[in-house]
Chains A and B, each alone.
Chain A
Amino acid sequence: MIEHELTVTNQLGLHARATARLVQLLSGYGCSATLAAKGREVNAKSIMGVMLLAAGRGTKVLLRVDGEDEQACADAVAALFERGFDENP
């Protein structure tokens, strides 16, 4: 299992479009993935779950991935967060 702390840097936070990108990215990996913030943990492969986190800009979230391709998955998610979900600032 890998844990990785990430910060939401994009303008609108983990809103619908960003969440859809995250979920689409994760659907390519077999490992399980959760995101935790503000004292709750949700299935990162669920749009509803991730949107319920209401993680706005600047929120710190903890990614937990567990499974065979966990390293590749954690790297890809970290890269997506770093790019601000490809929204231009």
Chain B
Amino acid sequence: MRRLLQGQGASRGNALGRAWVRLPDVLEVGEEHIEPGQVEAELERLHLAIERVRAEMQSLRERLQGALPPELGQFLDLHALLLDDPELLQGLDEAIRGQLLSADYALHLQRERITAGFRAMDDAYFRSRVEDIDQVIGRIHASLHARHDGRTGMAGEVLACESVAPAELAQLQQRGVVAVVTSAGSPLSHSAILARSLHLPMVVGVPGLLQRVADGEVLTVDGGTGEVVVEPGPADLRHHRERRRATARELRALRRLRREPTRTRDGSTIELQANAESPADIARAHALGASGIGLYRTEFLFLQRTALPGEEEQFQAYRDAVLAMNGRVVTIRILDLGADKADRTGLSLRDESNPALGLRGIRLAMARPDVLEVQLRAMLRASAYGRLRVLVPMVSERGQVLHVRAELARLAAALRAEGHGVAANVPLGAMIEVPAAALMLPTFLGDVDFLSVGTNDLVQYLLASDRDNEALGELGSPLHPAVLRVLRDVIRTAAAAGKPVSVCGEMAGDPRLSPLLLALGLEQFSMHPATLLDVRQVVRACDLMHLRARLPALLRARDRSGIERWIARHHPPLGEG
């Protein structure tokens, strides 16, 4: 019989499939004992399960490299730390070795003990953290059980469960699970964020889900509206097909955009470049038709290792990027490590009281001339293979730009003398993220070849709002008249001097803000590859002359709501492709 269940849409998309109802693992474990002779085998089984979960998390990280919102990355790190937790591991060891309990039951007891501790807390914030721990233990548990029942999802199934761990989602999708519906959770959960990144339809918070759906029943899921129909009738199926077709049309239109130029309706060409932080991003950027790499973050070469990468290794990484972009520009940023990044090379200071304002970017590079020299030599050698540009992060005064320019000249001469090829011209650019650099642009504009505005840091410094501090809420929003004023001035000053300027912060990748940036005079955007086609679609629907004529109205806005109103009024209607 047809039933309509209403939840909250957490990840857009429509799916039709058989329900796979998964009851929470805890319900299924009874007290199980083992023989003394089985202890080692049981511990081995447990540790294999933990290693499988670790590998799962690792592969998730790799698949999503670069596409992960930063808070999700931190949270995956937390889960990885939990897998090594001595409290958890010792407790399990004692239960198995001392009390001769099965690994499953030992895990069950640990979970009960720990979650009971959390549930007794007074503080709601702390109490809610139990979810992280519960999910990690749940994953180990599922990994132990995978051997017994093998039920891990099949193609064409819709998973109906209480909650789902982020690390599990990617795996479910690989097995062909078409949607996920949960009785708990919120659209703001880490799992929901991840489902959206994976384009896996998801509905959360369906009351009584596990009692109202039986294994094997057919469901339609609408991840936009949050509607789940059990045993859909002919009308539901027709509606589902229509929604599917509409979604497919949108996707096709976006795909066609890969090969289309980024031109506004009135014929101006806008350059859309990609930000990259790994070789995989470069490949994606090329496939999506990015006009170049506007920002290649080199930190990936330095993180998660204990020794600094040598010249040869860096040279190969930069050369490969230049080759992959096949004649399009590749902008490589000098290492921008700060005390807030977890490097193990001992390069950045660990004990800065305020890493955002500390020894980072070009400041760190100038404090460590040996590291800077190796990196610049590698970049110069790679410049022989294509169009490479060097970008200096965290510039706050002219001397920093002059220093890098002098080093480039000195090292280029040395490399040529050693017989290496070096491009005749390697453009040098400054990142504009320190307000002082934006204000005093004319003092060093003549010393650089291009500019790149890092709006994430610029906004945080300009508004004195730490972007990781959730308590600040909208106080850190880039939609502040001061931000628009600085952007306008930087773009205008650079244009008057004939120097290209791009924006490479999150603002550039937000299609909602594209008309605003176009009105401010921006002609070069650099963004995460994931948003490139969305931005291209909006840019192609915009009328540049009209938007520029509306700039005075934008600059008259006195607060965020005024800017929001301007944005709402000027969002172009999106046609199909």
Contacts and interface: CB of A to CB of B under 8 A. Distances in A.
Interface of A: 11-13, 15-17, 20, 23-24, 42-43, 45-49, 51-52, 54, 56, 76, 79, 83, 86-88
Given A11-B471, A86-B340, A48 B126 contact: no
Interface in B544-573: none
Interface stretch (B232-240, B352-360, B526-534): B352-360
Given A15-B129, A23-B81, A79-B351, A43 B86 contact: yes
Contacts of A86: 339-340, 352-355
A48 B87 contact: yes
B99 to A, nearest CB: 20
Residue among B129, B339, B471 with most chain A CB within 10 A: B129
Given A43-B87, A47-B82, A48-B82, A24 B121 contact: no
Contacts of A51: 118, 126, 129, 133
16 contacts: A15-B125, A15-B126, A17-B74, A20-B74, A20-B77, A20-B81, A42-B87, A48-B82, A51-B126, A51-B133, A54-B122, A54-B123, A83-B353, A86-B340, A86-B354, A87-B468
A79 B349 CA distance: 14
Contacts of A45: 86
B114 A88 contact: no
A52 B118 CA distance: 6
Interface string B58-79: 0000000000000000110110
A47 B155 CA distance: 37
Q: What are the nearest 3 A-B pairs in CB distance?
A: A46-B87, A88-B466, A54-B126
A17 B340 CA distance: 12
Contact of A46 (B85, B123, B469): B85
B85 A16 contact: no
B39 to A, nearest CB: 23
Contacts of A56: 123, 126
A87 B469 contact: yes
Nearest to A12: B125
Given A11-B469, A51-B126, A86-B354, 13 more contacts: A15-B125, A20-B74, A20-B78, A46-B85, A46-B87, A48-B114, A48-B133, A54-B122, A56-B123, A76-B351, A83-B351, A83-B353, A86-B353
A83 B355 CA distance: 11
Contacts of B114: 48, 52
A54 B78 contact: no
A23 B81 CA distance: 8
Contacts of B340: 86
Contacts of B423: none
B132 interface: yes
A73 to B, nearest CB: 14
Contacts of A83: 351, 353
A17 B74 CA distance: 8
A86 B351 CA distance: 9
Interface of B: 74-75, 77-78, 81-82, 85-88, 114, 117-118, 121-123, 125-126, 129, 132-133, 339-340, 342, 351-356, 466, 468-469, 471
A21 to B, nearest CB: 9
Contacts of B74: 17, 20
Given A16-B78, A88-B354, A48 B125 contact: no
Contacts of B342: 24
Nearest to A50: B87
Contacts of A49: 85, 87
Residue among A15, A43, A48, A83 with most chain B CB within 10 A: A48
A24 B77 CA distance: 11
Contact of A52 (B117, B355, B466, B469): B117
A46 B91 CA distance: 12
Contacts of B354: 86, 88
Contacts of B355: 86
Contact of B121 (A23, A43, A54, A88): A54
A12 B470 CA distance: 10
Residue among A23, A46, A49 with most chain B CB within 10 A: A46
A44 B551 CA distance: 56
Given A54-B121, A56-B126, A47 B78 contact: yes
Given A43-B87, A46-B87, A24 B126 contact: no
Nearest to B122: A54
B126 A13 contact: yes
Contacts of A52: 114, 117-118
B169 to A, nearest CB: 20
Contacts of B133: 48, 51
Contacts of B85: 46-49
B81 A47 contact: yes
Nearest to A84: B353
Given A24-B342, A46-B87, A88 B356 contact: yes
B121 A46 contact: no
B295 to A, nearest CB: 25
B134 to A, nearest CB: 11
A6 to B, nearest CB: 16
Nearest to A88: B466
Contacts of A88: 354, 356, 466, 469
Nearest to B137: A48
A86 B469 CA distance: 11
Nearest to B353: A83
Residue among B87, B125, B132 with most chain A CB within 10 A: B87
Contacts of A20: 74, 77-78, 81
A13 B126 CA distance: 9
Contacts of B466: 87-88
